[in-house]
Chains A and B, each alone.
Chain A
C-alpha cells in the first residue's frame, strides 16, 4: 500500500477558481470518458441478454437520474470549488463547465445507471429462480 500519510504530487491540476463557466484547458485526453464508456459497455448485456428493463423504462430512469444527479452534481461543484478534489489536466477532456470536466457530469448519469442495472439484475435473477 502506497500513499498513506503522503501525498504524491500528481501531474498538473486546474483548480475550480481558475476556471470560468466554460474554459478550455491545455491538452486533451479521452481517458476518463473511456472509463465511463467501459462501464456502459460492461453493463449493457444486463439489458440486452439478461433482459432487465432499465433503459426500456426511459421515463422512470430519467427521473431517477435527475433526482440523484441534482443532489450529487451540486455536491460535486461545491467540493471541487472548495478544493477538496481536483482533476488532472491531460487525463480529462479540455473543456470544463463550471470548473468540472464534462465527463464529471456524465459520471452522475453513468454510475447511478450502472447501480440500477446491477440491482435489477439481482432482482430478475433471484425472482426467476423462485418462480421458474
Chain B
C-alpha cells in the first residue's frame, strides 16, 4: 500500500466537511474562522516544523506525497520537514474541534 497517509488526510477532511453537513454550524461561512485558521496555520508551521525537522515523528516515504515544506539549515535538524499532508490534517482536526465547540456551545446554552 502506498499513499496511506495521503488517503488518511483526505478522509479526515471529508469527515470534517461531512460533520458540518450534519451539525450545520455555519462555521465555514464565518470570516472569523478563516482569519483564525490563517493564524493557526502560521503556528502549525512552527510547531509541526519542529516535530518533523528534528525529527520527533517520521513518515514512511511511500505513504505520503513526498512534498515537504523543508527546514532551516541547522545541525539541529536531521529530516525534511512537514509533509504537505500535515497541513490538510491540521486543518481537518482544528476545524472539527471548532465545529464541536460551536455545537456544544449552542447545546449547553453557553454561547
Chain A residues proximal to chain B, CB less than 8 Å? 1-8, 10-11, 13, 31-32, 35, 39, 42, 57, 59-61, 63-65, 67-68, 71-72, 75, 78-79, 82-88, 91-92, 108, 111-116, 118-119, 121-123, 126
The 10 closest A-B pairs by CB, nearest first: A3-B80, A1-B70, A112-B97, A115-B94, A7-B61, A119-B36, A64-B100, A67-B100, A122-B36, A68-B97
- Please judge, given known A-B contacts A7-B61, A118-B40, whether A32 and B56 are in contact too, CB under 8 Å: yes
- Please judge, given known A-B contacts A68-B97, A71-B96, whether A88 and B57 are in contact too, CB under 8 Å: yes
Complex Cα gap A51–B12 (Å): 32
A-contact bits for B29-69, CB 8 A (1 contact / 0 none): 00011011001100100010011001111111101101111
B interface residues, tally (CB under 8 Å): 49
Choose one: A3, A10, A13, A68; the contact of B81 (CB below 8 Å). A3
Query: In the complex, how many angstroms separate the beta carbon of B19 from the nearest chain A beta carbon?
Result: 9
Query: In the complex, how many angstroms separate the beta carbon of B106 from the nearest chain A beta carbon?
Result: 10
| 13 more A-B residue pairs beyond the given contacts A3-B71, A60-B110, with a C-beta to C-beta distance below 8 A | A1-B69, A6-B80, A8-B78, A39-B43, A57-B105, A63-B108, A64-B101, A64-B104, A72-B93, A79-B8, A84-B8, A84-B59, A86-B58
B97 engages A116 (CB within 8 Å): yes
CB-nearest residue of chain B to A66 = B100
A10 engages B78 (CB within 8 Å): yes
CB-nearest residue of chain A to B93 = A72
Let me know if B87 is at the binding interface, CB within 8 A.
no
CB contacts (< 8 Å) of B105 on chain A: these are 57, 60
